[in-house]
């Protein structure tokens, strides 16, 4: 029960921090995507299916918070989590480089999917090199933040609040 | 592959993605109101965001106590000089104002547009959590009389406009948002019209649709044209930093440095009312002249 409560609270807290603290302290104008980081970690520790469902609801929360183009983040985060979940069976999760590297790739994938979905839905975007710069900065920001977050998340899954079977 | 189709997570995901596409098609266009669930989520976050904003304001004022006395004295001296300069400028402007009022009476105009703006101060409590949209969340909402579409300004220039409103907060789309477009003119020449659009970064705007024969040049001031019903006339947007000719040769594009520092905004003013009919009549009269 505690595990589910924490899993529900993480994206809620992440959005709060993104819209307040991290929106002020940006890196090259880019805000980190903490929601995506937690979705990536969840998919990495679980299966593709579970990850995709978790990613979908986390993305939907972000969309409802933003109030525009609802469903865009839900789709992108579900697809990213699905892909991460498919690849996680072949990796050595104890290695922090795996966690950080997966977040970096997930951030790039998420941006590509968001961009593709926006174009597909005829959303108006003035596209220029600024978009690419923002994505690069976000990859760096997410990767840096994922170092302490992965350490906490991994340990929590192995022996803490987020442990798989039963309550603490 | 067949195993995938037997997995119930796969079908659940397909169902969710179809649902998301349906939602997107219904929310991609501009909506008048937020849905109930969006309002509930916004209202849940608002008190926490307001708390952070209050905390930052208070700790900001406390940190001032520990600032270096010499720095504070230098700041006071600079502000006193600035105050004297502005007081002097104000005297001249008052003279001009009286002259303008007399001329307005002579040619049958009503009083100045700027006198008709009704402003409501609001505090910035949050910002966009992502990079695709650029917006602010302010601590005023439906209960304060805010409505979608109201322009938002700052003493230094135009900020944007209210995109959607919940009971106690509102989302303000910034001028730098990729979806924002504002009708503008060059203040000095008054004969160049164009559209300023956001590029997603807070240091640069783009002015498009400028006729090739325009005399617009670096350093020109860009203000709202008032030709659209969304924004009052004459609100300062920024300065032209460069002008280039489009490949088709018929139009020019200018880069504009915004007057407002969007990264540091803490308070804004919402224009809750302005006399649009009057603005229209003034614009028409100007064009006829």
ipTM for the predicted complex: 0.84
**Calpha distance B120→B152 (Å, rounded):** 9
Q: What average pLDDT does range B17-36 have in this prediction?
A: 80
How far B258 CA sits from the closest chain A CA (Å)? Answer: 15
**Calpha distance B246→B253 (Å, rounded):** 7
Size of interface A-B (CB pairs under 8 A): 145
Instruction: Return the percentage of chain B with pLDDT > 90, whole number.
Output: 28
pLDDT at A128: 65
**Calpha distance B62→B78 (Å, rounded):** 22
| Pick from A33, A11, A12: nearest CA to A141 | A33
pLDDT at A15: 95
Give yes or no for a contact between B180 and B149, defined as CB atoms under 8 angstroms apart. no
Cβ within 8 Å, pair B24-A47: no
Confidence category of residue B203, pLDDT binned at 50, 70, 90: confident
Cβ within 8 Å, pair A65-B45: yes
- Report helix, strand or coil for B127: strand
| pLDDT above 60: residue B114 | no
pLDDT at A122: 60
* Upper half-sphere CA count for residue B9 (Cβ side, 13 Å): 19
Q: Are strands B205-211 and B251-258 parallel, antiparallel or unpaired?
A: antiparallel
Element counts in chain A: helices (H) and strands (E): 7, 0
Q: What average pLDDT does range B238-247 have in this prediction?
A: 91
Residues 6+ apart with CB under 8 A from B107: none
| pLDDT above 50: residue B286 | no
For chain A, the 3-state helix, strand and coil shares in percent, each to the nearest 5, are 75, 0, 25
Give yes or no for a contact between B232 and B117, defined as CB atoms under 8 angstroms apart. yes
Cβ within 8 Å, pair A62-B34: no
| pLDDT above 60: residue B276 | no
Q: Which two tokens stand for residue B80?
A: 């006193």
- Report helix, strand or coil for B93: helix
Question: Which residue of B7, B8, B10, B13 is the best one to mutate when testing the A interface, meaning the one whose CB has the most A CBs within 10 A?
Answer: B13
How far A89 CA sits from the closest chain B CA (Å)? Answer: 16
Chain B: residue nearest A123 by CA?
B28
Nearest by CB: A31 against B21, B37, B131: B131
Output phi, psi for A76, to 5 deg. -65, -45
List of chain A residues whose C-beta atoms are within 8 Å of the C-beta of residue B12: 49, 53
Q: What angle do CA B184, B187, B189 make, to 5 degrees?
A: 105
| pLDDT above 50: residue B283 | no
Q: What average pLDDT does range B164-183 have in this prediction?
A: 90
Query: If you average pLDDT over every residue of chain A, what do you get?
Result: 88
> What is the DSSP track for A105-147?
HHHHHHHHHHHHHHHHTT-----SHHHHHHHHHHHHHHHHHHH
Global pTM reads: 0.81
Q: What average pLDDT does range A141-161 have in this prediction?
A: 93
Chain B: residue nearest A114 by CA?
B132
**Calpha distance B188→B248 (Å, rounded):** 26
- Report helix, strand or coil for B79: helix
- Report helix, strand or coil for B35: coil
pLDDT at B111: 53
How far B96 CA sits from the closest chain A CA (Å)? Answer: 41
């Amino acid at each position: 029960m505690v595990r589910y409560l924490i899993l529900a609270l993480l994206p809620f807290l992440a959005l709060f921090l993104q819209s307040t603290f991290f929106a002020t302290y940006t890196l090259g104008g880019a805000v980190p995507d903490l929601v995506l980081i937690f979705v990536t970690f969840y998919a990495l520790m679980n299966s593709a299916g579970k990850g995709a469902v978790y990613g979908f609801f986390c993305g939907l929360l972000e969309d409802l918070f933003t109030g525009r183009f609802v469903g865009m983040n839900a789709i992108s985060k579900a697809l990213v989590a699905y892909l991460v979940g498919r690849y996680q069976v072949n990796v050595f999760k104890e290695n922090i480089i795996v966690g950080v590297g997966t977040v970096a790739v997930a951030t790039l994938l998420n941006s590509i999917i968001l961009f593709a979905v926006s174009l597909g839905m005829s959303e108006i975007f003035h596209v220029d090199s600024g978009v690419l710069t923002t994505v690069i900065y976000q990859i760096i920001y997410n990767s840096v933040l994922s170092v302490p977050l992965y350490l906490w998340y991994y340990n929590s899954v192995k022996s803490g609040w987020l442990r798989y079977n039963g309550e603490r | 592959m067949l195993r995938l189709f037997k997995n119930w997570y796969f079908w659940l995901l397909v169902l969710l993605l179809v649902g998301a596409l349906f939602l997107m098609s219904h929310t991609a266009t501009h909506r008048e109101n937020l849905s109930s669930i969006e309002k509930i989520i916004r209202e849940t976050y608002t008190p926490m965001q307001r708390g952070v904003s209050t905390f930052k304001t208070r700790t900001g004022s406390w940190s001032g106590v520990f600032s270096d006395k010499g720095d504070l004295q230098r700041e006071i001296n600079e502000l006193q000089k600035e105050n004297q300069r502005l007081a002097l400028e104000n005297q001249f402007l008052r003279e001009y104002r009286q002259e303008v009022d007399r001329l307005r009476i002579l040619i049958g105009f009503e009083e100045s547009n700027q006198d008709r703006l009704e402003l409501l101060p609001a505090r910035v409590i949050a910002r966009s959590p992502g990079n695709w949209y650029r917006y602010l969340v302010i601590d005023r909402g439906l209960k304060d009389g805010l409505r979608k579409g109201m322009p938002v300004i700052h003493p230094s220039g135009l900020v944007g406009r209210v995109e959607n409103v919940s009971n106690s907060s509102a989302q303000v789309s910034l001028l730098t948002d990729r979806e924002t477009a504002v009708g503008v003119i060059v203040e000095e020449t008054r004969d160049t019209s164009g559209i300023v659009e956001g590029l997603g970064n807070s240091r640069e705007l783009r002015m498009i649709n400028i006729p090739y024969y325009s005399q617009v040049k670096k350093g020109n001031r860009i203000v709202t044209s008032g030709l659209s019903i969304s924004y009052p006339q004459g609100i300062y947007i920024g300065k032209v930093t460069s002008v280039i000719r489009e490949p088709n040769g018929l139009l020019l594009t200018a880069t504009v440095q915004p007057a407002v520092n969007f990264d540091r905004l803490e308070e804004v003013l919402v224009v809750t009312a302005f006399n649009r009919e009057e603005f229209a009549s003034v614009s028409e009269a100007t064009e006829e002249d």
